[in-house]
Structure 1
């Protein structure tokens, strides 16, 4: 991920958005990158309706002031963070997708009851963003990382490769262990279990090759598991501080997250989740 590009957070004044701000502020402080707080006062479904610009600005100023205060407080134990705020009259999804073009990471709330605009747009943003997207559950309590590993789903796809890079970067910045999970299902023609496990174990090893040298501080645990990736990853999320997944891959979980059932799946994942997407800007 790119160090000098900002982490962008969509805010709407909800508790879910403030949880996202706190998480993003700590992540920005860890990586030494700017934090951009974006208030889009026009819900996507109301885009054709004329809005009172003065009221939008006043409401937006209040929301960004509250979010800025929360960000500074959350980041303080880690370090300072350069914060820039934006109040815009563009529909939520459109403006966040536009901001994602130059972002290191786009952060949105997973929603929940009373979560406001962001609860309804997080899935759409995850599908359309031009950078990785972090989805923070409404139940997430604070900015600091809870104990536990960073978990990454590995399936051998190109998006999985992006997820692995993000996961190592996040694990290193958090001084956390990394659990790389690859799930396989038994083929129609059965062999012995050791024979069946050879290919998935080789795939996981190949996908992780080289990262040990680049991130010698990260302790890696490889998990080759039989069954559906959805079940194993949701189970491991219960004890993880962060989950990282490819936005498109060879298993069902990533497709569900950015598809029509995204909210239901994210409700099952109790930790912040980064959906890996290639960034459109320049990389290191």
Structure 2
């Protein structure tokens, strides 16, 4: 069976982190790479600006050519690299469409300010909210591990009843990397009384409750991936703060987006949006109902999670 490709969203500007991550993932998973650049132009232009449109297309083609050269320099003949220049459509919509047949979609997150930050965030969040495959946001300052002992793959779990496929993606990524897997659950009373009513007994009870609820799916996934060492950690803290803390030293953060039946714009949730902005390591956003398998395909359970 042919592996599904890793779709790489190539933008203008420096793309070292994007290419480093995507080529490494292709080598680990045996997946081909498909680089996509979307020319950002208005849908209609007066004839007087036709030259500007042509110039934008030529610039986009050169951006894509350089990215392809960079990818091939990293993988040699070990990975098939293809490319596509898209001249119509909004980037988020185009990339979400390409995700239907992808193993994952990879974008680079740039720490911008003002209007540029809002534009960049809308593309990453827009793709992550609508994609049919896992979406990876790679911080521009990220670089691959330098050969030291690899850190863990961290999976954030809010609701164990909807997290089996999120954890499965984490197991797959950890197995490919020879890394440990850390399941993280954070809880916090948002009603203003947390500091008054929470004590050690309540913290221990929440830890035990989460362990019992996640155990059936976690045990099944451990049986599927016997070589992956797993640890479960429960934090009494706001989720975004806990994930920011455990990101230090991690290889990846794996998070699930919210219920896809909710209105557009609410699919990610505030925690995922915050982590996408702040994480120093790549963040993988997974649809809870479908995730990667080791072969790069898709697996769906018949039982509702």
How high is the TM-score relative to the length of structure 2?
0.77
SS of the equivalent of 2:214 reads helix
Contact 1:74–1:143 (CA under 8 A) maintained in structure 2: no
- Pick one of 136, 139, 146 that aligns with 2:138: 136
Instruction: Say if 1:26 and 1:143, in contact at 8 Å, map to a contact too.
Output: no
Q: How far apart, CA to CA, are the structure 2 residues paired with 1:221 and 1:236?
A: 13
SS in 2 for 1:210: helix
Q: Structure 1 residues 59-68 or 137-146, which shifts more?
A: 137-146
Counterparts of residues 157-168 of structure 1 (less than 5 Å): 157=160, 160-168=163-171
C-alpha contact 1:19 1:143 (8 A) present in aligned 2: no
Q: Over residues 237-263 of structure 1, what are the superposed CA-to-partner deviations in whole Å (9 max), with x where a residue is unaligned?
A: 1111100000117xx9951256xxx3x
CA 1:159 to 1:26, structure 2 compared with 1: closer, same or farther past 3 Å?
A: farther
For residue 119 of structure 1, report the CA deviation from its aligned partner: 5.1
Aligned to 1:19: 17
Residue aligning to 1:283: 298
Corresponding position of 1:177:
180
Distance 1:197 1:21, change over 3 A: same
2:262 — aligned with what? none
Q: Return the index of the structure with the highest Cα Rg.
A: 2
Tell me by how many angstroms 1:49 deviates: 3.8
Contact 2:151–2:251 at 8 Å: present in 1 too?
yes
- Tell me the SS of whatever aligns to 1:274: strand
Q: Secondary structure at the match of 1:126?
A: helix
Candidates 150, 155, 172, aligned match of 1:152: 155
Q: In the TM superposition, what is the alpha-carbon distance from 1:66 to its structure 2 partner?
A: 1.3
Taking the aligned partners of 1:42 and 1:143, their CA distance within structure 2 comes to 33
Residue 97 of structure 1: CA displacement? 1.3
Change (3 A) 1:49 1:243: farther
Match of 1:218 among 208, 228, 249: 228
- 1:3 CA drift (Å): 7.3
Partner of 1:69: 69
SS at match of 1:13: coil
**Inter-partner Cα distance in structure 1 for 2:270 and 2:137:** 14
Q: For structure 1, which runs of at least 5 residues remain unmatched after alignment?
A: none
Pair 1:10 & 2:19 matched: no
Distance in 2, matches of 1:145 and 1:223, equals 26
Provide structure 2 residue ranges, at least 5 long, that are not aligned to the other structure.
Answer: 260-265, 300-305
The alpha-carbon deviation at position 4 of structure 1 amounts to 1.2
The number of residues matched between the two structures is 272
CA contact (8 A) 2:129 2:268 kept: no
- Give the counterpart of 1:256 among 253, 265, 270: 270
Q: Is the 8 A contact 1:20 1:107 kept in 2?
A: yes
* Secondary structure at 1:84 match in 2: strand
Q: State whether residues 160 and 214 of structure 2, in contact with CA within 8 Å, keep that contact through their aligned partners in structure 1.
A: no
Instruction: After TM superposition, give the deviation of residue 30 of structure 1 in Å.
Output: 0.8
